[in-house]
Amino acid sequence: MAGFERLAAVAVRRRWLVAGGWLLMAGGLLPFARTVEARLTVAARVTGSESAAVEEILATRFGSPFARWAVLVLTGIPGPDTPQGRDVHVGIVRTLSDHPQLTRTFSYLDDADSLFVGVGGSGTFLVVGLERTDDRADRMLPELRQASAELERDLRLRHPTATVRWTGEVALNADLREASAAAAEGAERRALPLTLAVLLIAFGALAAAMLPLLAAGIAVGTTLGIAAVAATWWPLSIVLQNVVSMLGIGLGIDYALLMVSRFRSARIDGSSVHHAAALCATRAGPTVMLSAGTVAIGFGALLLVPLDEIRAIAVGGLLVTMISAWVAVTVVPAALAICGASLGVGR
């Protein structure tokens, strides 16, 4: 308890320095947090696995143009086993060959297998090799989809129902990245206004309701920023973003809510603003840190699982849990000491 008393005293006495320091750190990491989904990986593979080793061998030892690949699916056009369809097919391959990011195509023209003919004798698909660079393969998708959209417009001049779509691991990774980011943002937009409304009803004061949301925002933003920086040398899965958003909002609000409740109780009992802010950190701080410690132990155990996705969950969970706890025992008492008189309780 003595340690928490000293921490509380520093947080209250140096309240502007503590609050400003956290805000500066969170603000400095914000540009990285905003681009975190672009820095995280979505490849469903295990680092050092046989499949990853084979891809590397195909690219380096054999120089295969299909070390990276995608599948282009075409519907609404004649099958490649018909004279008309073959002409269309030749034109498609010629168009794709001009794209700088494509290395080669493999299709019915290379192997007249019925596998390349769609159900009912129409449509086909092509396996397309992608240029192998140090950059993420799914970064190519916007340009590839733009090229396929132009190809689709040209095909529809003669075949009105023609469609051109990409699939395969690269396309799936790009869609997973986009869907994961959109899901996290959508959940935050829906959850935060509802949470604010509930806190307003519970506290009856805007400042008291906003403080837990501010604490959660600092925790989530700081964690995502740190994860984005760490991802430059340690591959982390995109699932980290959803875990951090979910836990950060929940734990950040929960821990801060406990601190604000203890502060209001102390104010009702007659303590001054500064004394009540120190008391809330002293009395609720050990509970917050104990709770965070037990959660962190669970996530720490996940670090032993040799799967990139599970380890990303562990890293995200560990970071956001501990940062949420430290925000609660430092930033929240400092903020209460600064604006506690506006909470509408006490003398």
In this predicted model, which residue has the larger pLDDT, 228 or 39?
228
Instruction: Please give the share of the chain, as a percent, with pLDDT higher than 90.
Output: 18
Instruction: Please give the share of the chain, as a percent, with pLDDT higher than 70.
Output: 92
**Residue closest to 149 by CA, chosen among 199, 211, 215, 99:** 99
Assign residue 158 a region: left if phi > 0, alpha if psi is -120 to 50, beta otherwise?
alpha
Q: Quick one: CA torsion of 175, 181, 182, 188, rounded to 10 degrees?
A: 160
Q: Which residues 6+ apart lie within 8 Å of 173 measured at CB?
A: 42, 43, 44, 137, 138
Contact 180, 240 (CB under 8 A): no
pLDDT at 210 over 90: no
CA angle 322, 313, 47 (to 5 degrees): 130
Strands 69-78 and 122-130: antiparallel
Which pLDDT does position 25 carry in this prediction?
Answer: 92
CA angle 287, 251, 295 (to 5 degrees): 65
Tens of pLDDT along 42-93? Answer: 765 556 667 777 777 777 777 677 777 889 999 988 888 888 888 888 888 8
Residue type, position 78, single letter: P
Give 343's pLDDT tier (boundaries 50, 70, 90). Answer: low
Q: How many helices (H) and strands (E) in the chain?
A: 12, 4
Which DSSP helix (H) or strand (E) runs through 93? helix 83-97
